[in-house]
């Protein structure tokens, strides 16, 4: 039986949630083009540059924790409004920095908003999306992230020759997308699952009815209420056997997605291209190709994610990324680490990530947790991925320039390979499954592991 739903309204809700991803991508990547100018402005060492890039990411750790802690109390929408305001304010504060300490503090505070939106937006998208298109909605969120990255690269390139304060204008430009996000989220409703779990069942039913019709709304309300555990201490819900296993798998994915190198490539692309012989002008121009590649191959994921499922894409993407990184290692060892070769391999690596990994991660993680603990449970993979991200980005300049390119690319390649094996062995397929089904899957899988094999 084909699932029917209000496609226009679902698209509006999905785009609203996904615009949070645009702010995410923009704020993460705007420093990419500013980096070479920050080195000059603040006389930064390799570790100083690492702090400039990673200060936002350490803020993301705290931001994701706070969002998970308060989303069950205040709801998804209210927190997303606060996030939008925070993006605008911290963009202004970063652009106005008078020294490196104030710059790091402003970026850290901006990270609170990025960390929060990384948890709230995919959660909101999953909770307002019919199962038949939830994968494409997740892919839309990832496409919004790479759109934000592409926009930031374009802004960086356009502002590169605007004087000694060009980096300030780069950060200040973040106010514009923040204003658009605030307008859309003001028009959007609260999540139906939050409404139902807070006693507003009639409002939740009317919203679900508008999304998918009366029959679908009745079924979903029944499923939501059936999976609502009434515990006085919500954290205890994370100790249920099925939830514990889901948390462990999600944390593993969260670590591997970053130790396999994606944000080092996104953030330090100009530095990598300069080390391969490009001048600063050409290195910044090449980041446009990076952004376009990310955008185009995220579109490819729209076609694949609900057709082939989450798990097969993740495995193919991981092994493809590993191959590209091993070839970069080979280029270093054979003295062929220069211009066109490096650019081709970097773009191939990004193609595998954006078509197979990025959309699946942000779709899969909210899908694997039960309704009543989703907000709290999401803090584990989101917080974990930000910690991994922060340390990788902090240490990359030192590893790349001091320890060496061969060690750096070799380590990332092994981690990408490990990601593929981890997914093959432990990650479930969630395509076309109702969100309410997943705890039963994890509990059953525990029984299957415990049972003796024939």
pLDDT given for residue 260 in this prediction: 94
- Answer whether 212's CB lies under 8 Å from 8's CB: no
pLDDT given for residue 235 in this prediction: 66
pTM for this predicted structure: 0.78
Backbone φ, ψ for residue 351 (5° rounding)? -60, -45
Per-residue DSSP letters for 306-325? Answer: HHH-HHHHHHHHHHHHHHHH
Other C-beta atoms lying within 10 Å of the C-beta of residue 94: 28
Q: Is the dihedral of CA 30, 415, 67, 133 positive or negative?
A: positive
Q: What is the CATH number of domain 7-188+238-444?
A: 1.20.1250.20
pLDDT given for residue 449 in this prediction: 45
pLDDT given for residue 439 in this prediction: 57
Domain boundaries, the chain: 7-188+238-444
Q: Which two tokens stand for residue 20?
A: 């949070």
SS3 (DSSP) at 3: coil
Other C-beta atoms lying within 10 Å of the C-beta of residue 279: 10
pLDDT given for residue 265 in this prediction: 84
Q: Which two tokens stand for residue 22?
A: 């645009």
Q: Which two tokens stand for residue 344?
A: 């081709």
Which pLDDT tens digits describe the chain residue by residue (454 residues)?
445 677 888 888 888 888 898 998 899 889 988 888 899 899 999 999 999 999 999 999 899 888 888 888 888 899 999 999 999 999 999 999 999 999 999 999 999 999 899 888 888 888 888 877 777 777 787 788 888 988 998 999 899 888 889 999 999 999 999 999 999 998 999 988 889 888 888 999 999 889 888 888 888 888 777 766 554 455 677 777 778 888 999 999 999 999 999 988 878 888 888 888 888 788 778 888 888 998 899 888 878 887 888 899 999 999 999 999 999 999 999 989 988 899 999 999 999 999 999 888 877 887 888 766 776 788 788 888 889 999 999 999 999 989 999 999 999 999 999 999 999 998 888 776 665 565 556 555 555 544 444 4
């Amino acid at each position: 039986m084909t699932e029917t739903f209000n496609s226009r309204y679902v698209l509006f809700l999905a785009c609203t949630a996904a615009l949070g991803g645009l702010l995410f991508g923009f704020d993460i990547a705007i420093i990419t083009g500013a980096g070479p100018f920050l080195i000059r402005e603040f006389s930064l060492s390799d570790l100083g540059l690492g702090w400039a890039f990673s200060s936002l990411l350490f803020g993301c750790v705290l931001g994701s924790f706070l969002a998970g802690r308060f989303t069950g109390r205040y709801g998804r929408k209210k927190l997303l409004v606060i996030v939008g305001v925070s993006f605008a304010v911290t963009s202004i504060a970063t652009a106005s920095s008078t020294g490196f300490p104030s710059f790091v503090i402003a970026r850290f505070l901006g990270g609170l908003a990025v960390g929060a939106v990384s948890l709230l937006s995919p959660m909101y998208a999953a909770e307002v999306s019919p199962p038949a298109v939830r994968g494409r909605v997740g892919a839309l969120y990832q496409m919004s992230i790479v759109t934000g990255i592409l926009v930031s690269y374009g802004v960086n390139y356009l502002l590169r020759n605007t004087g000694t304060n060009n980096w300030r204008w780069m950060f200040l430009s973040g106010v514009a997308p923040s204003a658009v996000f605030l307008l859309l989220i003001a028009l959007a409703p609260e999540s139906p699952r939050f409404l139902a779990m807070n006693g507003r069942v009639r409002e939740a039913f009317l919203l679900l009815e508008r999304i998918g019709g009366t029959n679908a709304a009745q079924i979903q309300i029944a499923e939501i209420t059936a999976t609502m555990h009434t515990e006085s201490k919500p954290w205890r819900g994370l100790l249920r056997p099925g939830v514990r296993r889901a948390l462990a798998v999600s944390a593993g994915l969260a670590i591997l997605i970053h130790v396999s190198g994606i944000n080092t490539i996104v953030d330090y692309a100009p530095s990598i291209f300069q080390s391969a012989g490009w001048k600063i002008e050409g290195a910044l121009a090449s980041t446009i190709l990076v952004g376009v590649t990310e955008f185009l191959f995220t579109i490819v994921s729209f076609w694949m994610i609900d057709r082939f499922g989450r798990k097969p894409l993740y495995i193919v993407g991981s092994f493809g990324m590993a191959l590209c990184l091993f070839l970069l290692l080979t280029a270093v060892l054979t003295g062929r680490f220069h211009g066109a070769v490096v650019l081709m391999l970097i773009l191939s690596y990004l193609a595998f990530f954006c078509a197979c990994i990025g959309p699946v991660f942000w779709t899969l993680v909210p899908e694997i947790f039960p309704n009543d603990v989703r907000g709290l449970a999401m803090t584990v993979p989101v917080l974990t991925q930000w910690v991994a991200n922060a340390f990788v980005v902090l240490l990359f300049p030192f590893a790349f320039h001091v320890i060496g390119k061969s060690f750096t690319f070799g380590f990332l390649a092994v981690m990408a390979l490990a990601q593929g094996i981890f997914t093959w062995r432990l990650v479930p397929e969630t395509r076309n499954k109702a969100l309410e089904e997943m705890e039963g899957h994890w509990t059953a899988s525990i029984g299957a592991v415990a049972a003796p094999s024939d």
